[in-house]
Every structure is written in C-alpha cells, then in structure tokens.
C-alpha cells in the first residue's frame, strides 16, 4: 500500500515545468488529495486519487483540477480570481481476477497514448479536433 506522499510531474511546456504536489488529506471515503501550493489558495492545482472495491471490481479514479488565475483590479484593489478551470479524469476498472501484468499493461497503454508523438490522440486531447 503506497504512502500518501509528495510527487512531482512535468507538464508539456516547450521547456517542461516540474509541478510538485504535496499531501492534503485522505477523506473518510478513502479519497486522497494533493495540492500544488503557489501562494494563492484559489489557484491551487488539486489532484485526487481513490480506489474503491465493489461487486468484484476495483474502481480507480484519478482527477486533476487545474485552475487558471488572473489578477482582477477593482477600485485599485488587486484580487486573484479563477477565470477558468481544466479538469482531467481517468477512471480504471479492473476485475478482482485481473493480474498485475494486465493492470500494468492497461496503465502503460493509456500513458503511452497520451504522449505528444501520438498525433491522432493528441489532436483530439489537446487541439480539440475530431476524428474523421
């Protein structure tokens, strides 16, 4: 069972930026959460991860919440405000009879399908195009 610890992931900027997420809590439903603290709580990136077992299936859910913050100035007072938020959600469902290798292969396929060199997938995921 993995510990609730900090982790760092890079974005896909031209010069990748490392984002470090620190543990926040694990709620009573078993949902673990992390945040990337940048000094303004309203703009913190949040990650949640959970694993639920029911009806012979493991259901793993990973969620990234990525708010975009701008400074709003009203009557000379500057205030950070969220102008939009991106969400990314990954749901995995595994039978209780699945092998470790099957689960690793499934995660590997998902992971490798999201790299920039997979131009068809990337064209939909990031460029918001459609398959024709």
pLDDT value at 88 more than 90: yes
Do 105 and 62 sit in the same domain of this protein? no
Q: What is the pLDDT of residues 27-79, one digit of tens each?
A: 999 999 999 988 789 999 999 999 999 999 999 999 999 999 999 999 999 99
In a domain, 73, yes or no: yes
Find the mean pLDDT for residues 82-94: 97
pLDDT value at 107 more than 90: yes
Residue 49: CATH number of its domain: 3.30.380.10
Do 72 and 24 sit in the same domain of this protein? yes
Do 52 and 110 sit in the same domain of this protein? no
**What pLDDT is stored for residue 38 in this prediction?**
83
Beta-strand pair 32-36/18-26:
antiparallel
Do 60 and 110 sit in the same domain of this protein? no
Do 47 and 35 sit in the same domain of this protein? yes
Q: How far is CA 42 from CA 33, 49, 61, 81, 116, in A?
A: 16, 20, 23, 7, 30
**What pLDDT is stored for residue 127 in this prediction?**
93
Strand partners, 38: none
Do 61 and 124 sit in the same domain of this protein? no
DSSP H helical ranges for the chain: 100-113, 119-125
Do 61 and 116 sit in the same domain of this protein? no
**What pLDDT is stored for residue 6 in this prediction?**
96
**What pLDDT is stored for residue 110 in this prediction?**
96
Do 84 and 103 sit in the same domain of this protein? no
In a domain, 105, yes or no: yes
Find the mean pLDDT for residues 86-102: 97
Which pLDDT band holds residue 13 (cuts at 50, 70, 90)? very high
Domain that holds residue 110: 99-132
Do 91 and 103 sit in the same domain of this protein? no
Do 128 and 69 sit in the same domain of this protein? no
Please tell me the total count of domains within the chain: 2
């Amino acid at each position: 069972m993995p510990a609730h610890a900090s982790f760092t992931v890079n974005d896909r900027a031209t010069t990748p930026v490392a984002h470090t997420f620190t543990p926040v809590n694990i709620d009573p439903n078993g949902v673990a959460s992390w945040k990337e603290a940048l000094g303004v709580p309203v703009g913190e990136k949040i990650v949640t991860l959970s694993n639920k077992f029911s009806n012979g299936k493991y259901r793993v859910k990973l969620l990234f919440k990525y708010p975009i913050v701008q400074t709003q100035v009203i009557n000379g007072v500057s205030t950070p405000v969220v102008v939009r938020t991106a969400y990314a959600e990954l749901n995995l469902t595994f039978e209780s009879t699945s092998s470790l290798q099957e689960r690793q292969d499934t995660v590997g396929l998902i992971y490798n399908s999201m790299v920039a060199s997979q131009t068809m997938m990337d064209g939909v995921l990031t460029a918001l195009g459609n398959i024709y």
